[in-house]
Structure 1
Amino acid sequence: MKAKLLDIAVCDPNHLQAYFPDDLTEFCASIEMSIGPVDGCGGDYFRATACSPSWFHNNILLPKKQHETHEQIVRAEFGRHFLFFATYDEDEIKRFVSDFIDKQSGSDWPELSGRLARYFQWEFEDYVVLKA
């Protein structure tokens, strides 16, 4: 089974509206996607964060001081659901995501969507069906 990208938007992570950074080398954008099986109808909701390494460092690894008397400490952080790009190019982000999805396969949708969820935040991640 293969997956297809049904819809994708690269938008402002805080307002989910059109996004274009002031600095093409220091940016953070939200990627909102609908992905479904090639032979099916409809899809599931996935998302990820596209950012530059410098934005990740300056905002995640080295967060802003809460108060001027506090230390600014570099911390460790997992990078799950983050895609790193040296410069902002919306078309390149969309092309990269689409090409990645095209290369994925699985025996059925649960396996395939679970594989995609390793890279993108999936709306049904950790969803458990309760049996009566």
Structure 2
Amino acid sequence: MIAELKLISLADQSSFESFAPEHPADFGVELRLSIGPVGEDAADSFSLTVCSPDWLRRECASQGFVWRWDLLVVEEFNRVEIVQVLQRMVSRCVGATWDMVVAQLTRRMQWEFDTYA
């Protein structure tokens, strides 16, 4: 089973395609990714933050540290490159079952079912 990135939106469900930060070299945005098995309509929701080094520095300065595993840091906002990086990472998650694929995906992003008991 191979994972496929099916849709990217902002955390508030608005369009990622229309998102443009005021300062491309200083931004942070939470994304929702719909990811499911290749060839199937089914998908689960995952989230991660894409940010620039300047945004990360500011976050660190305000708290004294940043402790996150669900970050993708890019030099500046470039939608095409961000999508390519995400597609490449997702397509490398392969397993015999969907649970095995999810185990790989959750090393880099939050899964909608992470907090379910």
Output the TM-score relative to the length of structure 2: 0.86
- From the superposition, tell whether residues 40 and 16 of structure 1 become closer, same or farther in structure 2 (CA, over 3 Å): closer
Q: Does 1:85 align with 2:74?
A: yes
Which runs of 5 or more residues in structure 2 are unaligned?
A: none
Which residue is 1:68 aligned to?
none
| Alignment length (residue pairs) | 114
Cα deviation digits, residues 78-131 of structure 1 (max 9, x gap): 221110000101111111101111111112101111210111111011433xxx
Is the partner of 1:101 in helix, strand or coil? helix
Distance in 2, Cα, partners of 1:31 & 1:91 = 14
Q: Does 1:106 align with 2:95?
A: yes
Asked if the contact 1:16/1:30 (under 8 Å) is kept, the reply is: no
Identity %: 26
Equivalences for residues 8-87 of structure 1 within 5 A: 8-9=8-9, 11=10, 16-17=13-14, 18-58=18-58, 60-63=59-62, 75-87=64-76
Is the partner of 1:62 in helix, strand or coil? helix
Is the partner of 2:81 in helix, strand or coil? helix
Q: Flag the structure with higher helix content.
A: 2
Distance in 2, Cα, partners of 1:76 & 1:48 = 18
Query: What is the identity, as a one-letter code, of the residue corresponding to 1:79?
Result: R
Which residue is 1:4 aligned to?
4
Output the TM-score relative to the length of structure 1: 0.77
Distance in 2, Cα, partners of 1:41 & 1:21 = 31
Query: What is the identity, as a one-letter code, of the residue corresponding to 1:85?
Result: V
Which runs of 5 or more residues in structure 1 are unaligned?
A: 64-73
